[in-house]
Structure 1
Amino acid sequence: MAFLSRIMVLKSRAHFSAGANGIRAGSAGAKFEGSRKRKATQARTRIGLIMVAFVAFYGVIGARLTYYGLREPETTSSIMPADRLMASRPDILDRNGEVLATDIRTVSLFAEPHKIVDADEVIEKLRTVLPDIDAKQIYGKLRSNSRFQWLRRQLTPKQQSEILALGIPGIGFRPEKRRFYPGGATAAHIVGYVNIDNRGVAGMERYIDSQGLADLAAVGMTSSQPLEPVKLSIDVRVQAILRDVLTSSITKFKAKGAGGVVLDAHTGEILAMSSVPDFDPNDPAAGGEEGWLNRMSNGTFEMGSTFKSFTLAMALDSGKVKMTDSFDARYPIKIGGFTIKDFHGKGRFLTVPEVFQYSSNIGTAKMADVVGIDGHKAFLTKLGLLTRMQTELPEVAMPSQPREWKKINSVTISFGHGVSTTPLQTAVAGAALVNGGKLIEPTFLPRNEVQAESAATQVIKPTTSDNMRWLFEWNGVNGSGKNALVPGFDVGGKTGTADKVINGRYNHDHNFNAFLAAFPIYHPKYVVLTFIDDPRSETDRAVLAGNSAAPMVKEIISRSAAILGVKPRFGENGSAMLVSY
């Protein structure tokens, strides 16, 4: 028993010693712990490699995107992104909401040359629908290495359906928008037109692009959603009347051109402006270069005796001349080898009103001499007649004047020779003479009198303006403006018959005629200016402004005054009433 007990004690000690030293059990545990560490290390390594791979992969993508973003654009075809092709332009409306320009949906024909098998067959089929296509040009496009080529822009629905019926592989249609002008040529030079890509080229269409639409289109931020319409100051009814008078006058007088404007004297708003020949903005190329020229704002002319209005206003405003003064008009003025004389000389002293009434070159020149050369130049500059006019219309010409003003220049400029300016800025300066003496830049956008007042510049004294209104009325009743009178509407104004320069010399047989008018003259609301270039009579002789430009003003006012809201008045101070019907 004791033996067995001793044996058991020894075994227990032996087992305890073996376990404590880790001979067998420690060997198995070491193997287990090592395997677990190796697996953890391998997992971390694999995750690290995967992360490095992801970073490298997306780093390459980011680098390529940055490269493509910074490189110069490469033109691979003439097609534009769909959002730009479908981008809308705002409608253009007149002051009463009548549509002058709008977008209509259309389609354009294109080809994918790499899909074209037989270019000759394609051309032959297309000619059955589009007989006027240029076969040589189309063939070159179809055989090109590009993947896209325009064949014909802006097709009609009928043309599209007929081409679809031909079943030509490799061609297709792209939706676009086309600009449409319901009034045609009625307001062509004001509204302007767009190119084949619906981008503004001239007139208010170009102005709209300059206000940010073109920049948005360039970066692809325009959309096909309708935009807020742009309302203009013009009244399309008055515009149609004005253009009708101009076109009929050109035919009647066999003239080279004509123009006119109706201007609000107190806001500077253009109610109507036209220049003929003109063009149809739906097909601008058909008008030719003669039709594209806007003679009212982008043509400069010697305005003749209408400038005497500014010379008299200058003399009166200077305080050196009074309405009661007289000037010796008995003898011609000889200066610098030239002789200045009156067309219908009276051979006597003339009062200031008579100088204006008889359109005396001698009397006007002597008034300018009283003010002086520097004062004369400064006054015309103040009226905006020697600087480029500021308005929304892009087509505005710079007036021309002598590089150095000498006495002979001041003398001739006093009666409208020697300075060329635009008819529109002549009308704007004329408005300042009758509206209380305030020069207001013209606008083709709506503007009220409060807004105009903040932008106005006082250029002559109110008393001078009062005198000029009286002189305009005096000349309208007693002088060259008789043929512009409209019963009930008190028209006053000044004619201008300027000899044209032919081969470097003034030619008395070729005239540029103008008439500057305001109505109702007792409190002018509107200024009307017309001109006609080189009018001829039935005997092919020159016609004076009193017989050509003045009657044009009469017809414009008689047809449009009621539309403009001007009420006629009859009798002394409007006391007479119309009682018979």
Structure 2
Amino acid sequence: MIAFIMRLKSRAHFTVGPQPGLRDATFIGTNARRRKQARQRLAILIGLFLVAYLALGARLLQYGLTEPLQSAAIDASAHAVASRPDLTDRNGLLLATDLNTVSLYAEPRRILDADEVVEKLALVVPNLDWRETHRKLRSDSAFQWLRRQLTPKQQADILALGLPGIGFRPEKRRFYPGGATAAHIVGHVNVDNQGLAGMERYLDQQGLADLRAAGLTNDTRLEPVKLSIDLRVQNIVREVVAKAMVDYGAEAAGAVILDVETGEVLAMASVPDYDPNEPSRRLADGSIDKDYEKGWFNRISNATFEMGSTFKSFTLAMGLDEGKITLNSVVDASRPIRMGGFTIRDFKGKNRPLSIPEVFQYSSNIGTAAVADMVGVDNHRQFFTQLGLLSRLETEMPGVATPTQPRNWKKINSVTISFGHGVSTTPLQTAAAAAALMNGGHLIPPTFLPRSRDAAQSLATRVLKDTTSADMRALYDRNGQIGSGRHAQVEGFLVGGKTGTAEKVINGRYSKTSNFNSFLAAFPMDKPRYIVLSIIDAPRTGENGGRTAASNAAPMIKAIIQRAAPLLGVQPRFADASSDRRLIDY
């Protein structure tokens, strides 16, 4: 009976419950109770949705009213997107700029199938290291770089794969429109846009790296930095030295053009070189191409050489400045000098007394050594130090080499150094010292940034008398007309200069079969404005089969001046054929 009553109760549409104040039971409808509970639950749900929407709305309003951040403090190790200033030449032509790009990364903890991800990425990313990529994807880390600086097409193709746990991060990529044209001047950056060489590294040393670390360069457009070089002239110089290295079968070659009045470097090239857009290359087996990376070596400022007979310019200038000789002086070069077990001879010597202009013209080792002996060892060393030939060059270019010299100068050292053996210095500081011979006697530190004449004069140090500079201009001009310098002569531009053919030092000994050749030129000789120095390392041949500087280093100068002089604003001057060709009185 009880079970029957309970079944009836369960089927009923009402319940029985007590009603306060009433003696009898009250019948409550089940549907009405359920409707009441539903309204209560719906009200609670609506309240929760309202609270959520209000929170979202307040957050959006906060974002809308907040000023956008221009920079943020980001740790340098976080690979933050950082800008670098554009680099331009003296005329505003672009040398280096930033490009926006993306890099590929993975979140290994979200990778479901590492094998599938590697297989699909290999279809898009060239030369993907399967083993290394698989190791990164199976690691327990939260973040792993897979490939830096992708192309837009590669990014689109990877997006189409729809791989979970794979993402992209915006970055900056440095781009060099001229490629290898000014590689050793501009330098290059690493994958994190940090300067590693050349003027790129100089910028970081001047505080750009600190600004980057503070996050103050992120997405900020920086003012361009103008360099002193002329890109048109730079291209000519680089083409000439690259061609000479091939034509003369040399190991290396280089050249630099310097403004004698301001110290500005107008062009500088050293080959072999490299493309700063691709500072490193990998071989087919995946290893680094070491031969390609040899192109990083800048022989004009980062290497020292025995500059050979170009040093006779400085020795004769020393004798003139000390008053030991004049252009009318005569020295005995009739027989070799024997000293300390060494015999000093002239190459194709005249075996007779020579005037000072003849010592320069015939590049007499004996005559130059006699001048050094007149000055003395201590004064010789002091004079070369004063010219900046024995100390490290101060300029913006990082990695400048330090010259080498004997620890203790003896008489034999002074004699050999007088004609360019026994001291090694950089070609750039050799050119800077030569500029002092041409500009009236002022040593001006070379610069890769624009510099006015007034600014240059404030930095200049007088190292020669005006009269000594005038005498050296006369010697250079004469040698350019009737001496070894005639191989560099360009009609109308009055080129003067001095050859330097030095036996190359190999394994600590002078080689009889390998030379380091150079030519030190100035033009126009009626009022010198530019120094041009060329070098060529271990040439196997030259013009007419010769291996001396007159056969290869001098023709390089001629090719450079022929093309570059008009761009530098030098007007050609032609003397009347019936008149004396010399424009300077000696």
Normalization by structure 2: what TM-score?
0.83
Q: Which residue of 2 aligns with 1:13?
A: none
Structure 2 residue aligned with 1:172? 167
Residue number in structure 1 paired with 2:156? 161
Residue-by-residue CA offset, 1:204-253 (whole Å, 9 max, x unaligned): 00001111110111122222121000000000000000000001001100
The 3 A distance-change label for structure 1 pair 542 and 570 is closer
CA distance in 2, matches of 1:473, 1:101: 39
Q: Could you say what secondary structure the match of 2:253 adopts?
A: strand
Q: Quick check: 2:84–2:217 contact (8 Å CA) kept in 1? A: no
**For 1:154, what is the secondary structure of its paired residue?**
strand
Q: Is the 8 A contact 1:402 1:418 kept in 2?
A: yes
8 Å CA contact 1:569–1:575 kept in 2: the answer is: no
- Residue 94 of structure 1 aligns to which amino acid in structure 2? D
Within 2, Cα distance between the matches of 1:526 and 1:311? 21
Q: Give the root-mean-square deviation of aligned CA atoms.
A: 2.0
**Preserved contact between residue 543 and residue 551 of structure 2 (Cα < 8 Å):** no
For 1:313, the equivalent position in structure 2 comes to 317
Tell whether the 8 Å contact from 2:83 to 2:172 is kept in structure 1 after alignment. yes
What is aligned with 1:11?
A: none
Q: Does 1:516 align with 2:520?
A: yes
Query: Which residue is 1:246 aligned to?
Result: 241
Instruction: Tell me which residue corresponds to 1:63.
Output: none
Return closer, same or farther for 1:79/1:422 CA change in 2, 3 Å cut-off.
Answer: closer
Write the distance in 1 (CA, Å) between the matches of 2:369 and 2:268. Answer: 32
Cα 1:474–1:131 change in 2 (3 A) is closer
Distance 1:95 1:256, change over 3 A: same
| Residues 435 and 404 (structure 1), Cα distance of their counterparts in 2 relative to 1, 3 Å cut | same
Q: Determine if the alignment matches structure 1 residue 383 to structure 2 residue 383.
A: no
1:574 to partner: Cα distance: 13
The correspondence for 1:473, drawn from 463, 471, 477, is 477
Q: Could you tell me which residue of structure 2 aligns to residue 150 of structure 1?
A: 145
Q: Does 1:121 align with 2:87?
A: no
Q: Spell out, residue by residue over 1:276-333, the C-alpha distance to the aligned partner (whole angstroms, 9 max, x if none).
A: 0000000011372320100000010000000000000000000111111101101100
- Residue 207 (1) aligns with residue 163 (2): no
Greater helix proportion: 1
1:182 Cα offset (Å):
0.0
Equivalent of residue 562 in structure 2, options 558, 563, 575: 558
The amino acid that maps onto 1:201 is L
Identity, in percent, stands at 64
Q: Please say if residues 274 and 293 of structure 2, whose CA atoms lie closer than 8 Å, have aligned partners that are also in contact.
A: no
User: Which amino acid in 2 is paired with 1:168?
Assistant: L
Q: Does the 8 A contact of 1:484 with 1:554 survive in 2?
A: yes
Asked whether the 8 Å contact 1:79–1:148 carries over to 2, the reply is no
Match for 2:430 among 403, 426, 429? Answer: 426
Q: 1:459 to 1:79 in 2, by over 3 A?
A: closer
Aligned residue for 2:116, secondary structure, equals helix
Could you tell me which residue of structure 2 aligns to residue 456 of structure 1? Answer: 460
2:228 matched to which residue of 1? 233
**Does the Cα contact within 8 Å between 1:263 and 1:270 map onto a contact in 2?**
yes
* 1:257-272 alignment, distance < 5 Å: 257-272=252-267
Q: 1:25 maps to what in 2?
A: none
Question: Greater Rg, structure 1 or structure 2?
Answer: 1
Residues 565 and 575 of structure 1, relative CA distance in 2, 3 Å threshold: farther
Q: How many Å separate the matches in 1 of 2:572 and 2:126?
A: 58
Q: Which amino acid aligns with 1:184?
A: G
> 1:80 matched to which residue of 2?
78
- 1:7-156 equivalences in 2 (<5 Å): 80=78, 84-85=80-81, 87-156=82-151
What is the aligned residue count? 499
Deviation at 1:74, TM superposition (A): 13
Deviations 1:530-562 (A, max 9, x none): 010011128997600001000100110010110
Corresponding position of 2:373: 369
C-alpha deviation, 1:99, in angstroms: 0.3
Change (3 A) 1:363 1:94: same
Output the CA distance in 2 between the equivalents of 1:231 and 1:79.
29
Distance 2:296 2:577 in 1: 45
Report the residue type matching 2:566 in the other structure: A
Instruction: Describe the shift of the 1:143–1:574 C-alpha distance in structure 2 as closer, same or farther (beyond 3 A).
Output: farther
Structure 2 residues without counterparts, runs of 5 or longer: 1-72, 282-290, 581-586
Q: Distance in 2 between matches of 1:511 and 1:457?
A: 34
Report how far residue 382 of structure 1 moved: 0.4
Q: Secondary structure of 2:354's partner?
A: strand
Structure 1 residue 143: deviation in Å?
Answer: 1.3
**Alignment partner, residue 332 of structure 2:** 328
How far apart, CA to CA, are the structure 2 residues paired with 1:210 and 1:572? 54
Q: In 2, Cα distance between the equivalents of 1:519 and 1:115? A: 68
Do the aligned residues in 2 keep the contact of 1:294 with 1:395 (CA within 8 Å)? no
Q: Which residue of 1 aligns with 2:539?
A: 535
3-state secondary structure, aligned to 2:435: helix
